[in-house]
């Protein structure tokens, strides 16, 4: 059996409505050396039957089924543990690749020293209608915010070094993974172009889930090791921590992370610090 160049992991749970289009967008890739590993996280709808039929029809499609729902991080880890490709990625069961997405990312990563490449994404609604575009930023801003969108490709050595995804930081397991990759010294490259359609849903996070998200983010930011040596990265990390503490209504730590920037940082970071402090003290923390 030939070893695939690229492995795509597609976790799914009760999303038969969108899954077919998502899986078919993987199958339609112009890059031929692919394997597609679909992890069915104990779906109770028609997902299992549909995937059985697709696996019979397409040799590139492999299916792993959980008997008990285990969540996204575990689904990703189980899929990636089976992956044989030299280059790895994963996608969501309601999003779509453009047909040249993997070929474009593969060309970029092969012709550069980057370990992780990523692109901008198109935004669509529940019905597939375009509603906008999300442009990714340069990786130097990663400690300030998650600039990696939903379309990316990384070398196997990144997974071997940084993986697995951490279940204890569910909701931001991807950001945690990228931050650990950055801290480990792996190189990132933004690829111009838009090769992915990201579906926006009308349902939003509840306040309780938002709070859980920021608790996870606090855990992620406080566990970064080794601590970045670059002063810009250190300062961006302080601002990101301060924003997180603000959402958790932790005034003491907001001040701890933000005040030093007002006196010691270069001019552009002083501006960041002032804006962050104003927002944090008079915005989130006034509640």
Residue 59 CA to residue 190 CA, distance in Å, equals: 32
Task: Write the secondary structure of 187-198 as one string of H (helix), E (strand) and C (coil).
Answer: CEEEEEEEEEEE
Contact between residue 169 and residue 140 where contact means Cβ atoms under 8 Å apart: no
What are the structural domain ranges in the chain? 6-199, 227-286
- Reduced to 3 states, what is the DSSP secondary structure of residue 54? helix
- Cα separation, 272 vs 262, in Å, equals 9
Task: Walk along the chain (287 residues) and give the pLDDT tens digit of each residue.
Answer: 688 999 999 999 999 999 999 999 999 998 888 999 999 999 999 999 999 999 999 999 999 999 999 999 999 999 999 999 999 999 999 999 999 999 999 999 999 999 999 999 999 998 999 999 999 888 989 998 899 999 999 999 999 999 999 999 988 999 999 999 999 999 999 999 999 999 998 765 566 788 889 999 999 999 988 878 887 888 788 888 888 888 888 888 887 887 777 666 555 555 555 555 555 555 554 44
| Topology given in CATH for the domain delimited by 6-199 | Spore Coat Polysaccharide Biosynthesis Protein SpsA; Chain A (3.90.550)
């Amino acid at each position: 059996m030939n070893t695939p160049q690229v492995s795509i992991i597609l976790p799914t749970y009760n999303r038969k409505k969108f899954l077919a289009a998502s899986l078919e967008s993987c199958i339609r890739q112009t890059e031929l050396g692919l394997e597609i590993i679909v992890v069915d996280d104990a779906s109770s709808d028609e997902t299992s039957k549909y995937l059985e039929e697709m696996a019979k029809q397409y040799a590139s499609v492999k299916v792993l089924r959980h008997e008990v729902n285990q969540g996204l991080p575990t689904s990703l880890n189980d899929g990636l543990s089976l992956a044989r490709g030299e280059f790895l990625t994963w996608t969501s069961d309601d999003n779509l690749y453009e047909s040249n997405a993997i070929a474009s990312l593969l060309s970029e990563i092969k012709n550069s020293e980057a370990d992780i490449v990523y692109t901008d994404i198109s935004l669509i609604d529940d019905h597939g209608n375009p509603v906008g575009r999300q442009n990714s930023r340069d990786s130097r801003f990663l400690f300030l915010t998650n600039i990696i969108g939903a379309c990316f490709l990384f070398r196997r050595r990144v997974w071997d070094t940084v993986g697995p995804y951490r279940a204890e930081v569910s909701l931001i397991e991807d950001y945690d993974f990228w931050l650990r990759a950055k801290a480990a010294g792996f190189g990132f490259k933004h690829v111009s172009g838009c090769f992915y359609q990201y579906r926006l849903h009308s349902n939003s996070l509840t306040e309780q889930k938002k709070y859980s998200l920021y608790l996870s983010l606090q855990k992620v930011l406080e566990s970064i090791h080794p601590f970045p040596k670059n002063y810009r990265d250190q300062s961006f990390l302080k601002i990101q921590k301060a924003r997180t503490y603000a959402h958790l209504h932790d005034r003491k730590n907001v001040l701890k992370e933000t005040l030093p920037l007002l006196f010691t940082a270069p001019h552009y970071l002083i501006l960041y610090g002032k804006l962050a402090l104003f927002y944090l003290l008079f915005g989130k923390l006034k509640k």
